[in-house]
């Protein structure tokens, strides 16, 4: 009798890939006549988000901007859609922890968003 082990989904656990919900903070516009218009606050499900903790070296090099516990989320651009990520947008992870984006920029040949986040 031989034992067969299926490793095809191991990357989900070893690489910390998970499904998250991205919520943009929206914008509020006030017209000259006093009317207020809100846009955004849309939720987008990202199936293959990758979470990494920032390194001690990054914390030391940040001049106090980064802290222990801050994370770097990598979000595939094709799953984010047309949203332009910015500071204040939020990521809700699989453990129902909310992370606020402090910095976001397109990386790796514009195929991933790199988001530096802090738990709120």
Q: Is residue 61 domain-resident?
A: yes
Residue 67 has pLDDT above 70, yes or no: yes
The predicted model gives 16-44 an average pLDDT of 79
pLDDT at 106 (0 to 100): 92
Phi/psi of residue 94, nearest 5 degrees: -65, -20
Sign (positive or negative) of CA dihedral 104, 105, 107, 109? positive
Strand pairing class (27-30; 36-39): antiparallel
Residue 40 has pLDDT above 80, yes or no: no
In this structure, is residue 45 part of a structural domain?
yes
CA distance 85 to 82: 9
Instruction: Read off the CATH number of the domain in which 91 is found.
Output: 2.40.10.270
**Is residue 20, in this structure, part of any structural domain at all?**
no
Q: What is the mean pLDDT of residues 15-31?
A: 81
Q: Is residue 58 part of a domain?
A: yes
Quick one: which of 82, 80, 98 has its CA closest to 90? 98
Residue 14 within any structural domain of the chain: no
pTM equals 0.77
**Does residue 52 lie in a domain region?**
yes
Confidence at residue 24, expressed as pLDDT on a 0 to 100 scale: 84
**What is the arithmetic mean of pLDDT over 79-86?**
85
Residue 118 near residue 67 (C-beta atoms within 8 A): yes
Would residue 107 count as lying in a domain?
yes
Residue 103, classed as helix, strand or coil, is: strand
Specify the pLDDT at position 25. 75
Whether 16 maps to a domain, the answer reads: no
Residue 31's pLDDT band (boundaries 50, 70, 90)? confident
Residue 102's domain spans which residues? 39-119
**For the chain, what is the domain count?**
1
User: How far apart are the C-alpha atoms of 63 and 88, rounded to whole Å?
Assistant: 21
* Residues 53, 69 contacting (CB under 8 angstroms): yes
Mean pLDDT of all residues in 75-87? 88
């Amino acid at each position: 009798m031989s034992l067969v082990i299926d490793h095809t989904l191991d990357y989900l656990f070893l690489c910390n890939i998970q499904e998250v919900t991205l919520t943009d903070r929206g914008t509020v516009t006030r017209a000259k006549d006093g009317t207020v218009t809100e846009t955004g606050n849309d939720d987008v499900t990202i199936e293959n988000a990758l979470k990494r903790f920032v390194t001690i070296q990054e914390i030391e090099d940040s001049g106090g901007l980064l802290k222990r516990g801050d994370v770097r989320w990598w979000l595939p651009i094709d799953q984010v859609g047309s949203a332009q990520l910015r500071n204040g947008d939020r990521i809700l992870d699989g453990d129902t922890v909310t992370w606020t984006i402090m910095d976001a920029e397109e990386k790796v040949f514009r195929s991933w968003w790199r988001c530096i986040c802090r738990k709120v």
